[in-house]
Amino acid sequence: MSGKDSGYLDMELLRFTTAGSVDDGKSTLIGRLLYDSKAIFEDQMEAIERASERIGGEEVNLALLTDGLRAEREQGITIDVAYRYFATPKRKFIIADTPGHIQYTRNMVTGASTANVALILVDARHGVLEQTLRHAYIASLLQIPHVIVCVNKMDLVDYDEAVYDKIKTDLEGLSSKLSVKDIRYVPISALKGDNVVDRSSRMDWYQGPTLMYLLENIHIGSDINHDDFRFPVQYVIRPQSKDFPDYRGYGGRIASGDIKVGDRVAVLPSGFASAVKSIDLFDESLEYAFAPQSVSITLEDDIDISRGDMLVREGNGPQVGQDIDVMLCWFNERKMVPKGKYTLRHTSMEARCMVKEVNYKMNINTLEKNKEDKEISMNDIGRVTLRTTKPLFFDSYTKNRTTGSLILVDEATNETVAAGMIV
């Protein structure tokens, strides 16, 4: 390494999620990505070898690497989302590894909420299953910008091109029903390593990139909305010190778009307008800033602004309203109560809301809308109208993942019971 501009420090961050059950080879695939990128250390490997021997497996069980809790190892299942990290010279990766056994939707939605890429595994022997459909639907609902379908276990179907083509055609038929912007297909064998990191010599008929190549090169720069400046005020910074007697900065993370010193902004909900005086990050003053930076913004005029307010570019505001249509994923064992009241969190704002109406429940196995049965219980997804106690400043989730998302909190238990994507 030669200096601060060395390649080391110039990596991009890519977050991806993987979903599926143990049987489709997900753990093996993650194990291979970690192992081939040298993210598994010797002492971890030794620990896994010891543990594999104890439970009597013949081969080293790479799944033990991802199963962190005692109960998970004992029962051989994954309970919760686990986060894994590895890096190649090009990118740093964060994997949200989500289990398939229980609380399926809840975990996959959680993992998917921040992902740039979703890996969907399909077992080449079994083809497209209901489960595959659920994965694809959730990836589309959560607007994960890129989906990579890994047709796995190609070694068990003699690396047959026809098997791969059939799966690809089946999924392409379905994906017209979904709104996935970018979907790719790769035939792999996670166990043997074909097309994971290294190109397979056993599938000459496949001319596309390997999985690792896609992960390293998929363009994620456009995943964030760069058009609409949205700045939810998180914390008001007022030093009131000798050196900074009148400093009044608005701390927050830019949700989307960009802003320069001198730009005109409007403040919601008050509607007052002003111009950006400075953009600060520690002792550094920035000329401009953009999503997803965390900064402190000062304005030319003294306006009363507090947490929960939002700065936007003058003339480009979000929607404002108290009747919010959302696709709601329910996470809790306590069912959703019709007309029930919940605490709602949206950007840096907290409000209360009432469930006004359930429009339909989604059957995520068939992608059909159920307008008869409107009971929303754990792992259900439905389209719901919420009435909030005060106006929200929002965009549709498809336009903006930050200003378009919300969670509901049960006022009795304080638990996070649902996630909503604003329609």
Partner 1 sequence: MDKYQINHLRELEAESIYVIREVAAQFERPVMLFSGGKDSIVMFHLARKAFWPAKVPFPLMHIDTGHNFPETLEYRDQLMEKTGSKCIVRLVQQSIDEGRVVEEKGVNASRNKLQTTTLLDALEELKFDAAMGGGRRDEEKARAKERFFSHRDEFGQWDPKNQRPELWNLFNGKKNMGEHFRVFPISNWTEMDVWQYIYMENIEIPSLYFTHKREVFNRDGAWLAKAPFMQLKEQEKLQELDVRCRTIGDITCTGLTLSTANSIEDIIHEVASTRVTERGGRADDKRSESAMEDRKKEGYF
Does position 60 interact with partner 1 (CB under 8 A)? The reply is no
Footprint (CB under 8 A) of partner 1, residues 319-358: 331, 343, 345-346, 348
Distance CA 171, CA 187 (A): 14
Neighbours of 5 (CB within 10 A): 8
Minimum separation from the CB atom of position 292 to partner 1 (A)? 5
Neighbours of 245 (CB within 10 A): 9
Which one, 69 or 275, has the nearer CB to partner 1?
Answer: 69
Which one, 180 or 295, has the nearer CB to partner 1?
Answer: 295
Query: Per the omega criterion (within 30 degrees of 0), is the bond before 292 cis?
Result: yes
Distance CA 267, CA 273 (A): 6
- Listed residue (312, 236, 306) closest to 271, CA to CA: 312
Q: What is the CA radius of gyration of the chain?
A: 24
Footprint (CB under 8 A) of partner 1, residues 199-258: 221, 224, 226, 234-235, 237-241, 243-244, 247, 249, 251-253, 258
- Listed residue (99, 90, 135) closest to 117, CA to CA: 135
Does position 43 interact with partner 1 (CB under 8 A)? The reply is yes
Footprint (CB under 8 A) of partner 1, residues 398-417: 401-402, 405-407, 409, 414-416
Distance CA 400, CA 317 (A): 13
Interface with partner 1 (CB under 8 A), residue from 21, 36, 37, 51: 51
Interface with partner 1 (CB under 8 A), residue from 307, 341, 356, 399: 307
Distance CA 293, CA 11 (A): 16
Footprint (CB under 8 A) of partner 1, residues 274-303: 280-283, 290, 292-294, 296
Footprint (CB under 8 A) of partner 1, residues 178-197: none
To 5 degrees, how large is the angle CA 243–CA 250–CA 397? Answer: 165
Minimum separation from the CB atom of position 311 to partner 1 (A)? 15
Name the one residue in this structure whose structure tokens are 């190649």: 88
Contact region for partner 1 (CB under 8 A) — 89-97, 180-188, 206-214, 270-278?
A: 89-97
Does position 379 interact with partner 1 (CB under 8 A)? The reply is no
For 200-211, the DSSP string reads: PSS-TT--S--H
Minimum separation from the CB atom of position 13 to partner 1 (A)? 4
Minimum separation from the CB atom of position 410 to partner 1 (A)? 9
Minimum separation from the CB atom of position 208 to partner 1 (A)? 26
Does position 68 interact with partner 1 (CB under 8 A)? The reply is yes
- Tokens matching residue 219: 């363009």
